Structure 1
Amino acid sequence: MAEENLVCEETSESWISDNYDEDDVVAVDAGGFLNYNNETLRKDVSISRNGSIPVMGFASPVGDDAGDDCIGEMVEKETDFKPGDDYLTRLRSGCFELRLRNEAMDWIWKACAHHNFGPLCIYLSMNYLDRFLTSSELPKDKAWAVQLLAVSCLSLAAKMDETFVPLSVDLQVGDPKFVFEAKAIKRMELLVLNKLNWRMQVITPFSFIGYFLGKIRHHPSQNCIHRSSQLILNTTKEVEFLDFKASEISAAAAIALSFSGEAEAVHAEKALSSLIHVKQERVAKCLKMMGDLSDRISVGVAALAPQNRSVPVPESPIGVLEAICLSFKSDEITIGSCSSDSSADNNSNSNKRRKITLKGE
């Protein structure tokens, strides 16, 4: 039996050896693993918490100087949690990496829906995955690697955000092609933590949305905040949004949610000019990209409608963007040029489920 070693030392650059036969199981040395818990993961934040603004999740609308100061501090630090620019370049030019990301994203969305995890958990999972892949390339001959990475990123995100976290082996829902033992997942979690320098308390667009909505609408409703979360979450399905900072995505979502149609374009422009801490031209570009995404999605939704008349076709750009949350299949709505390849791979392997075991068990 071939052995597979996940090298988790902080100084190591290689996490997969070359002696794995895909027809065999993965064997991982189970000794010497470092224990950690939710509190350990949450101790990396260094932002002063003025007002009621949490670092990762939703903030209450804040308009005082303390809120502005805290937002300014978060804007200064948000790039620390952004995937590298070279990663986006690789996704744009490489079908293999784009297909892997879509495959991981597809499973993460389905698993979060199954476990009723919130939007922040999905966003954190994708952030961890993208940041990991910024500095680590998955080998093309290890079909199980992306699934192990997806499970580990979701497990870490759930520990950060969810009140109840299932056992790591129970996270693996949705008929995945590979099933991993708990110790294999924990080993991979440690590798992700090391690659990300244990910086898991991420500044996300959710960190800013209450602030920006409060600036624009003054007293946003809970429904408004909920809809904004769907807009923000949908950006994880389009790799081009990796080009934007969290604050820029949040500001664009707040404006998109507050104004629609040409008649309100003047008000939207005025609202944009009132937002400090963000570059207006960047937010405007992100806002346009949200509109372009809604146009592409609307074509897909309309194409599905004749087959299922019970599925309404959204009329507004916001409705179109939100409609994508009704489906957790990335191959139904194409994002990127390689989604069809991913779907083909999934179909050809739909009946194969390998259980990944551990040495010494």
Structure 2
Amino acid sequence: MEFHLEDPFASFKEHQNCTVSLLFASESDHMPSPNSLTSTHSHLSLRCEAVSFILQVQFSCNLEPFVTYLAINYLHRFMSRQEIQQGKPWLLRLVAISCLSLASKMKNTPFSVSDIQEQGCVLEAQCVQKMEFLILGALNWRMRSITPFPFLHFFISLSEFIDQALKETLKERASEIIFNAQNEFKILEYKPSTIAACALMSASHELSPAQYSILRDSITSCEYIDEETLSKCFNLIQEMETKESMMDTTTSFLSTETPMSVLEINIKRQRI
């Protein structure tokens, strides 16, 4: 049964009547442990290295972004509950590969350890399977993660926009912003619903300024949203988008150089 990242309850008959309130009430169970957000620099460095590796695998194996988003969600949640020793890069890559393997299974996407042998990471399938069980246990088998994506539908519906094309455009741009945000560790402080709301607001601010105030008012009036937290998250996403725009400008400049230069800047973008 395929897992729907945009609608985590779609595959379950018993959840057909699931209310929006349950979605909001459950989202914290699919976030990293709050204590891990104040981790040491070395711990954050390990996370950064693991995320960078996952994104490089996505690039080399042409994986769909939803698979890597889910894998990174597993990675952050696992590493917030299980310490990984420094000086063991093979172990860090084993965790990252196992998260990718679990995510691909949830999304019913073909993926095998042999797909990444060219990355210089030779691991036996049995080792990956053992690590998968460790990850499953650490996450209490909560693998149908609640992400920002299902909240996009909810917040767009609150705005009561009539233009269907505008809705789809905002949703697509907001999804792109959410994917970009997975590289920013500060975003882990915010709930998926808050990230979704801010991504939509940022998309509207960029693509449809005339509708921005309408969308923001509808979101801030939602009983599940804290306006102060929303404002902080929105400012963070705006900072991220500014950095992204600067990187795009750099990439455009390098496009006049060699193809390898463009590849190198793309990999650097993924590591940020």
Query: Is residue 120 from structure 1 mapped to residue 56 from structure 2 by the alignment?
Result: no
Which of the numbers 245, 251, 256 marks the counterpart of 1:298?
Answer: 245
Q: Is the 8 A contact 1:87 1:134 kept in 2?
A: yes
Query: Is residue 104 from structure 1 mapped to residue 50 from structure 2 by the alignment?
Result: yes
| Deviation of the 1:176 alpha carbon | 2.5
**2:20 alignment partner AA:** I
Query: How far apart are the structure 2 equivalents of 1:274 and 1:121?
Result: 33
Give the 3-state SS of the residue equivalent to 2:122 in structure 1. Answer: strand
Q: Is the 8 A contact 2:156 2:167 kept in 1?
A: no
Q: Is the 8 A contact 1:83 1:130 kept in 2?
A: yes
Cα displacement string for residues 163-211 of structure 1 (whole angstroms, at most 9, x for unaligned residues) = x322x323426x4242101101101111111111111111110121112
Query: Is residue 211 from structure 1 mapped to residue 154 from structure 2 by the alignment?
Result: yes
**1:102 alignment partner AA:** C
Q: Is the 8 A contact 1:56 1:206 kept in 2?
A: no
Give the aligned partner of residue 74 of structure 1.
23
Cα displacement string for residues 227-282 of structure 1 (whole angstroms, at most 9, x for unaligned residues) = 22211111110000000001100111122222338776644542333334222222
Give the aligned partner of residue 126 of structure 2.
183
Query: How far apart are the structure 1 equivalents of 2:178 and 2:212?
Result: 21
RMSD between superposed Cα atoms in Å: 2.9
**2:235 alignment partner AA:** K
Give the 3-state SS of the residue equivalent to 1:237 in structure 2. Answer: coil
Give the 3-state SS of the residue equivalent to 2:19 in structure 1. Answer: helix
Give the 3-state SS of the residue equivalent to 2:86 in structure 1. Answer: coil
Bigger Rg over Cα: 1
Q: Is the 8 A contact 2:201 2:212 kept in 1?
A: no
- Any residues of structure 2 matched to 1:166-177 within 5 Å, and which? 166=111, 168-172=112-116, 175-177=118-120
Give the 3-state SS of the residue equivalent to 2:80 in structure 1. Answer: helix
Cα displacement string for residues 14-38 of structure 1 (whole angstroms, at most 9, x for unaligned residues) = xxxxxxxxxxxxxxxxxxxxxxxx7
Query: How far apart are the structure 2 equivalents of 1:333 and 1:80?
Result: 27
Q: Is the 8 A contact 2:183 2:270 kept in 1?
A: no
TM-score, length-normalised on structure 2? 0.82
Give the 3-state SS of the residue equivalent to 1:144 in structure 2. Answer: helix
| Deviation of the 1:134 alpha carbon | 0.7
Q: For structure 2, which runs of at least 5 residues remain unmatched after alignment?
A: 11-15, 258-264
Which of the numbers 68, 83, 88 marks the counterpart of 2:32?
Answer: 83
Q: Is the 8 A contact 2:98 2:128 kept in 1?
A: yes
Give the 3-state SS of the residue equivalent to 2:88 in structure 1. Answer: coil
Q: Is the 8 A contact 2:55 2:68 kept in 1?
A: yes
| Deviation of the 1:70 alpha carbon | 1.8
Which of the numbers 54, 67, 71 marks the counterpart of 2:7?
Answer: 54
Greater relative CO, 1 or 2 (CA 8 Å, sep 6+): 1
Query: How far apart are the structure 2 equivalents of 1:197 and 1:299?
Result: 40
Give the aligned partner of residue 196 of structure 2.
250
For residues 280 and 56 of structure 1, do their structure 2 counterparts lie closer, same or farther at Cα, with a shift above 3 Å needed?
farther
For residues 298 and 158 of structure 1, do their structure 2 counterparts lie closer, same or farther at Cα, with a shift above 3 Å needed?
same
TM-score, length-normalised on structure 1? 0.63
Identical pairs, percent? 29
Q: For structure 1, which runs of at least 5 residues remain unmatched after alignment?
A: 1-37, 43-52, 58-65, 311-326, 336-361
